[in-house]
Amino acid sequence: MVRILDLFSGMGGLSLGFALALEGAEILGLDIGRYAVETYNYNLNRLGAKAIVQDVLEWEPEGEFDVVMGGSPCQPFSLANTRRRGREHPLYPTFPRFFDVVLELEPKLFLLENVKGLLTRTHRHLLEEQLKRVDPRYEVRYSVLNAAHYGVPQRRERLFVLGVRRDLRAVPSFPPPTHAEREITTLSGGRLHRWVTVRDAIGDLLAIQPNAYPRKLVQADPIPPDHEAMPLTARHVDRIRREREDTTRHYGRMEFPDSLNKPSRTISSHTVEGTKRETIVVPVTEHVGGKVLPPETVARILSSGVGLRVHEPDQPAKTIKGVTGGPQNTEPYLLVTEHEYRETRARFSETSLRKHRPQRLGAPASTIRANFHKVPPDALVETRATYRRLTVRECLRLQSFPDWWSFPPDVTITWKYRLVGEAVCPILAYRLAVHIGKIMGWRVREPPKRDEWQLPYFYKAFADYYGGAFTC
């Protein structure tokens, strides 16, 4: 049995990863937030973890623990905080308090998670002060890890500080990356798999309208739990677009909308709430019953000729309503969204774009030509797209929480967003726990099991275990 204390546990992302990685883990979480503790227990009691409402600043450390871990509030060191920073911030005392508990309980190891702002010139001395306190008893290493490099569909950089008690003679280290922007082979002969993208994570959810799914389709494809979002009006969208394009007020232009073809930006209160430049905005095609296919699938369908009729050059075509998958599948497909078309058109010259325009629904098609397998501009169907913010369920997916994760009935949508944004990515926590468990000689639970994670991108996230032989 491995006894773990999770300080400032939030709703339990770090605890979830460790519970699924270490055999016989017994975890106690402490957090001052009632909603955080309720959500923690609502989901993690089944895995041998429990949390209590407790202000860590007032808690008297007691008990024996093998691991003390946690993420003290990041606001004092956040790069987004431009006002009260460091010692001046009211939450700063929680940071040295973490090390107070470590020194009093003397666990075999400790793991601290926080924002990378702790390593800036402004705050680095605050971290070094605390590391000097534990240096006589602990061998310490720290590193900034990007969750996208470990199979999480999110570019989330966080500082991790790992300390192992010196008398155990174990050397602390961090797990090597498993994913990269492009699939590559390392110098040692290893393989880094391609990043898990937003499309991989929430592509199925983008086809479901939050909170307003047609009743006649509920039985076939019900709304997933917590697939709800705060409204984002056209005026909000327009403001976000203008701010992203305004290079006079910001260092660089941000893409609009956010790309579906790479990991998301960091999920936090700054990016999933509000109506500012940083708010993540995803494109959603306006259609009922159809699906949006990725460009590679479009190319495959068009090259096979399935569901397509070759039109005579001097005759109008029938109205293009979509492309079917053959006689066994008559569900309509819309080939690409307006956003995807804009991404695709960058491949072609201006001459080609003027000569060949995308097909439009409700109008005769241009000639279907033999070279459509190369997906030229006129092999695409441009559809009208709207934009919205991420739903709570989509944020959970991008943070790598399993689809069985849910919230107690009394938790408001504002608190759901906040709890998800403050959590540690469970998949990254799992990889840390497995690596630490091997260092310490503990029994680890690997390979990960799909029925425990219940994520549509499970095999892509854990491609290092399954070799990419499976698809989701």
Which residues participate in catalysis according to the annotation? Answer: 74
The Cα 284–Cα 384 span in angstroms is 9
The Cα 203–Cα 82 span in angstroms is 35
The three-state secondary structure class of 425 is: coil
DSSP string, 251-313: SSPPPSS--SSSPBPP-SHHHHSSSSTTS-EEEEE--SS-EEPPHHHHHHHHHHTTT--PPPT
Q: Are 432 and 105 in contact (CB under 8 A)?
A: no
The Cα 175–Cα 466 span in angstroms is 18
Q: What is the DSSP letter of 364?
A: P
The Cα 472–Cα 20 span in angstroms is 21
Q: Are 440 and 170 in contact (CB under 8 A)?
A: yes
Close Cβ partners of 403 (under 8 Å, ≥ 6 residues apart): 224, 396, 397, 454, 455, 456
Q: Rounded to 10 degrees, what is the CA torsion of 242, 395, 119, 6?
A: 160
The three-state secondary structure class of 245 is: helix
CA 469 to chain centre: 23
DSSP string, 438-449: HHHT--B--S--
Handedness of CA 76, 82, 83, 86 (dihedral sign): positive
Please, what is the angle between helix 34-44 and helix 413-422, to 10°? Answer: 70
The Cα 278–Cα 244 span in angstroms is 8
The Cα 381–Cα 365 span in angstroms is 10
First vs last C-alpha separation in the chain = 34
